[in-house]
Amino acid sequence: MAVDATPLLGAPTGVGQFCAGLLGALATRGDVATRAFAVTWRRRRRLASVLPAGVDRWQRPMPARPLHWWWGHADRPPAEWFVGPVDVVHGTNFVVPPTRQAARVVTVHDLTTVRFPALCDAATSAFPDLIRRAVAGGAWIHTPSRFVADEVIDTFAVDPQRVRAVHHGIPAAPTGAPAARLQLPAGTARYVVAVGTVEPRKDYPGLLAAFDAVAADHPDVALVIVGADGWGSDRFNDALAASPTRHRVRRTGYLDNAAVASVLADAAVLAYPSVYEGFGFPPLQAMAAGVPVVATAAGAVPEVVGDAAWLVPPGDRDALAGALAGVLDDDDRRAALVAAGTRRAAAFTWAAAAAGLTDCYRAAATR
């Protein structure tokens, strides 16, 4: 089978983490031969250096811009022309190439473009049409949560038998020497951390407002935002410039896995204030690191975190502030969340994800 590993190139996002974890787990199985490919011209030679051991790589060059245009308008050229004969082609990020004979599986991470189009940029606005085209062509759909699976079935009228919800695992904590400790704003010793690209869907302006409400009674607490600027980040930057607690807010920009793990490990609490999510790695990463989680009950988040996080309604800044203060002030509540989070995180493994997707590949290839 052939798996689109393009998301492994460049700074890895959540989709890149999914590709890395899945490919690494598939490579350890003895019942599936995995070949990776990348839809890119300029970065195609980098793929070999980022693939997990045991994953094969062979392909003809695949220039992204013309291919994406063709795949959006016609069922050609087929994937086999680039990657050779395979049984299944897995598109890992909303797009799956047309094929001559191979079955197709496409991962739909969320339906932000359908539910909240105002929160999307021009590039992602094409996803619904690409999903419709894949469904019409007989592709099977993988989603990272039952929540998104139900949305896909309802929105695109897909046969439920062709939609498989398979949870992701958790990005592995890096081994070796720990990253340098975070330098906090003067006068602070603890911090609330948020991890994710600064974009409207994450509602960091709402988190900042909640932190402003908490800050007066917690002078030793800072807010740390880990993530690069995405589209629409000006709204957060403007809110930060106007915040009375801006001197206690630290922005790190993008950090690699080792640095993220280090920042998470020392945090007092992870805040996850999203408007909508199809899965959500950061809460599980925090739980695995023994850090309590406060999150919004947005999209698939309740399914993912279960009873192991303090959930508040999306957009309710007062409730978010109250939950953050509660975790910061109540040691018993904090200990209970940490214990529940440790148990919850243990249930999400890449081995289980690979097993679930292998079942999906087999079903797609035999029907």
Condensed to tens digits (0 to 9), the pLDDT of residues 206-246 reads 999 999 999 999 999 999 999 999 888 999 999 999 999 99
pLDDT digits (tens, 9 = 90+) for 289-309: 999 999 999 999 999 999 999
Single out the residue of 208, 148, 201 nearest to residue 13, CA to CA. 201
- Alpha-carbon distance of 160 to 347, in angstroms, equals 25
- Alpha-carbon distance of 154 to 226, in angstroms, equals 34
Q: What is the pLDDT, as a whole number, of residue 242?
A: 95
Banded pLDDT at 135 (limits 50, 70, 90): very high
pLDDT digits (tens, 9 = 90+) for 169-191: 998 877 655 666 789 999 999 99
Q: What is the pLDDT, as a whole number, of residue 172?
A: 81
Share of the chain above pLDDT 70, in %: 98
Neighbours of 269 (CB within 10 A): 24
With residue 142 as reference, give the H or E element that holds it.
strand 140-143
Q: Would you list the domain boundaries of the chain?
A: 2-169+349-365, 190-345
The alpha carbon torsion through 122, 125, 126, 127 (nearest 10 deg) reads: 140
CB within 8 Å of 14: residues ≥ 6 apart:
109, 279, 281
Q: What is the mean pLDDT of the segment spanning 37-48?
A: 86
**What is the SS3 string spanning 220-245?**
CEEEEEECCECCCCHHHHHHHHHCCC
Share of the chain above pLDDT 90, in %: 79
- CATH for the 2-169+349-365 domain, from 1.10.1530.10, 3.10.129.10, 3.40.50.2000, 3.30.930.10: 3.40.50.2000
The per-residue pLDDT of the chain, averaged, comes to: 93
- Alpha-carbon distance of 367 to 354, in angstroms, equals 20
Amino acid at 139: A
CB-based contact 312:320 (threshold 8 Å): yes
Residue 90, helix vs strand vs coil:
strand
What superfamily in CATH does domain 190-345 come from? Glycogen Phosphorylase B; (3.40.50.2000)
The alpha carbon torsion through 214, 336, 171, 1 (nearest 10 deg) reads: -130
- Alpha-carbon distance of 332 to 339, in angstroms, equals 11
With residue 151 as reference, give the H or E element that holds it.
helix 146-156
- One-character DSSP codes across 43-82: TGGGHHHHSPTT-EE------HHHHHHHHHHSS-S-THHH
Residues 61, 63, 66, 70, CA torsion sign: positive
Single out the residue of 208, 348, 341, 206 nearest to residue 274, CA to CA. 206
pTM above 0.85, yes or no: yes
> Phi-psi region for residue 54, left (φ > 0), alpha (ψ -120 to 50) or beta?
left
Structure tokens at 340: 């529940």
Name beta bridge partners: 37. Answer: 4
Fill in the DSSP letter of residue 171: P
Residues 248, 193, 263, 191, CA torsion sign: positive
- Alpha-carbon distance of 3 to 170, in angstroms, equals 19
Q: What is the mean pLDDT of the segment spanning 60-69?
A: 89
